[in-house]
Amino acid sequence: MQKGQIRVQTENIFPIIKKFLYSDHEIFLRELVSNAVDASQKLKTLSSIGEAKGELGELRIDVVLDAKEKTLSIIDRGVGMTGEEVDKYINQVAFSGAEEFMQKYKDANIIGHFGLGFYSSFMVSDKVEIFTKSHKEGSGVYWSCDGSPEFELYDVDYNQRGTKIVLHINEESKEFLEAGRIKGILERFCKFLPIAIYFSEAGEEKEKEAEEKSINNTDPIWVKKPSELSKEDYEKFYKELYPFNETPLFWIHLNVDYPFNLTGVLYFPKIKQSYEIQKDKIQLYCNQVFVTDEVKDIVPEFLMLLQGVIDSPDIPLNVSRSYLQGDPNVKKINAHITKKVADKLDEIFRNERSSLEEKWESLGLFVKYGMMTDDKFLEKANKFLVMEDTTGKFHTLEEYKTATETLQKNKDGKQVILYTTNPVQQDAYIQACTQKGYTVLKMETLVDAAFINTMEMKWENVSFVRVDADIVDNLIDKQETNESVLSKDDAGKLTELFNLQIDNLHVTTEIKGLSPESAPVIATRPEFMRRMKDMGAVGGGMTAFYAQMPDEVTLTVNGNHPIYQQLLKEKDSTIQQKQVRNLADLALLSQGLLKGNELTNFINRSVELLQGEIKVNA
């Protein structure tokens, strides 16, 4: 029998481990099960090269909870340890003082070194016992420690190859004596480990072997070659990850072994509404051990909307695996994922363009966000970005330029991209544009306002103009406006009549000679100020004050509309003023700018005018 002290030059290593290395106590189970898997995998390797003799038998890991005895046991049938190996890997935690130890290792990538994963068990235990027997010749070994620097180590009659670790759960950690809690941790962290894991409670009747069900899928699809997998395999695995989601649009299988190791499957989910967007749906694994679902440093920001799994042993983690370390590999992996996504989208565009267009409602969010935030992605995406017009036809940027080359270039030589943010509300403006032969694109998603602002800076000689930014004759700054048929006096009267004060609006009025078929009054909102208000409403910061400013509206009075010949002859000035205000209100309604008291007044005024018409005609 051997007794001694763990060779760390400090009074106690355990408070340091508890305080600094592991922020979440449930991690202990992940670490112990991972160690058991490593021991099992190592035995497989040794057996394959002839260094481990005898039958492997069933390699499995059992997690056994005994709530009555307040113990939790993790049992494997792996390589096991000799007494010398227990002393080396368990006792010799480090050869430096505690302070130096923390300085040197707390941020290092040292998973599996120095027995630190094993020592996480002391976060939840009053005492930890090890029963182990090496695959080599020799007797079993027993080790125990109560969390002080003192331990016991001696030979014992333990006849099963492998290791059994028994945790005597302390009072503060009694949550880990609940079966549901343990099973939940196993399902979260160990769901895809390569050795079968079984959970049971001591004292319950042993199930038949045939009825036993492991808690993990030991052969997830990301460890296989894409050539071995069918469409059904990918969709089935997606349902395993996200049981309540619809079938994904498509997926990308990552399989890289140089200059870094990276495997995984990333899925493009269906997103029908902007409010459905959810981030943190990608799970990060290290050798099939779940680490985190916060992968913002590994996956580009614009692809955080993707779902699926990434597995890489080359992603540097701190000792508790709880956060990533700054490392060139992270940037390389980030760039690789961006390239793979761009290549996949380009491939679909070239080979199955109609399929891409059918899925664009969901894909457009990814693509536009990526173009705004990643210049390398932008360079590739310029080829496969498609934009839908109001007739349902899709255009790439180059196709749109070609289609509108003649009609939609302004006096500065810029291609004017006309767009609508609400095809229903802005229908009158869209119709006016299409009658002139213009092509109007739909820009109505959550990201489109920012996308338009960014692309105007990144695309050369392109200007975006919303269909209601001006009267149709002035949307493309190059054409002369028709002369008004009104006399100078009549134009002056109309200008005076349309000098309106409207709550919460800054109104500018102009008299123009438009087509007699055009509306009598057209309300437009100048592009620049409307954009600034939109940005201020959602972005805050320096633009926030714009959101508080009154809406700017230009009322363009069509002097050529026949209604004014009658209106100017009206002898009753009160009726005349009501008619003018109603014409203005009808235009404001088309912009959604008539609200509250002003809307109520419009309704009441309309009824009054109708009653007057009825009396006159009676």
Round to whole Å and give the CA distance between 339 and 453.
Answer: 25
Is 144 buried (19+), middle (13-18) or exposed (0-12) by CB count in 10 A? middle
Per the CB < 8 A criterion, the answer to whether 303 and 370 are in contact is: yes
pLDDT interval class at 228 (50, 70, 90): very high
The tens digit of pLDDT for each residue in 7-37 reads 544 445 566 655 555 567 888 899 899 889 9
Does the pLDDT of residue 566 top 80, yes or no?
Answer: yes
pLDDT interval class at 111 (50, 70, 90): very low
pLDDT interval class at 73 (50, 70, 90): very high
Round to whole Å and give the CA distance between 343 and 346.
Answer: 5
- Comparing CA positions, the residue from 331, 332, 292 lying closest to residue 311 is 292
Distances (CA, A) of 354 to 348, 350, 395: 9, 10, 12
Is 44 buried (19+), middle (13-18) or exposed (0-12) by CB count in 10 A? middle
- Return the SS3 of 505: strand
Round to whole Å and give the CA distance between 334 and 328.
Answer: 10
Does the pLDDT of residue 99 top 60, yes or no?
Answer: no
Q: How many CA atoms lie within 13 A of 132 on its CB side?
A: 26
Round to whole Å and give the CA distance between 508 and 510.
Answer: 7
346 φψ region: left (φ > 0), alpha (ψ -120 to 50), beta (else): alpha
Write down the number of H helices and E strands in the chain.
Answer: 21, 21
Per the CB < 8 A criterion, the answer to whether 448 and 501 are in contact is: no
The tens digit of pLDDT for each residue in 250-287 reads 999 999 887 888 999 999 988 765 545 566 688 988 88
User: Which of 125-139, 268-282, 535-549, 564-578 has the least mean pLDDT?
Assistant: 535-549
Q: Which position has the higher pLDDT, 437 or 542?
A: 437
Q: Which position has the higher pLDDT, 340 or 539?
A: 340
- Comparing CA positions, the residue from 262, 323, 265 lying closest to residue 291 is 323
pLDDT interval class at 49 (50, 70, 90): confident
The per-residue pLDDT for 411 is 84
Q: Which position has the higher pLDDT, 293 or 73?
A: 73
In this prediction, residues 496-512 reach a mean pLDDT of 85
Domains of the chain as residue ranges with CATH: 2-205 (3.30.565.10), 228-358 (3.30.230.80), 386-480 (3.40.50.11260), 481-618 (1.20.120.790)
Those residues with Cβ within 8 angstroms of residue 618's Cβ, 6 or more apart along the chain or in another chain: none
In this prediction, residues 171-198 reach a mean pLDDT of 93
Does the pLDDT of residue 114 top 50, yes or no?
Answer: no
Round to whole Å and give the CA distance between 559 and 486.
Answer: 6
Round to whole Å and give the CA distance between 220 and 481.
Answer: 67
Which residue matches tokens 């005994």?
66
- Return the SS3 of 446: coil
pLDDT interval class at 65 (50, 70, 90): very high
Round to whole Å and give the CA distance between 435 and 407.
Answer: 12
User: Which of 66-70, 441-445, 508-512 has the least mean pLDDT?
Assistant: 508-512
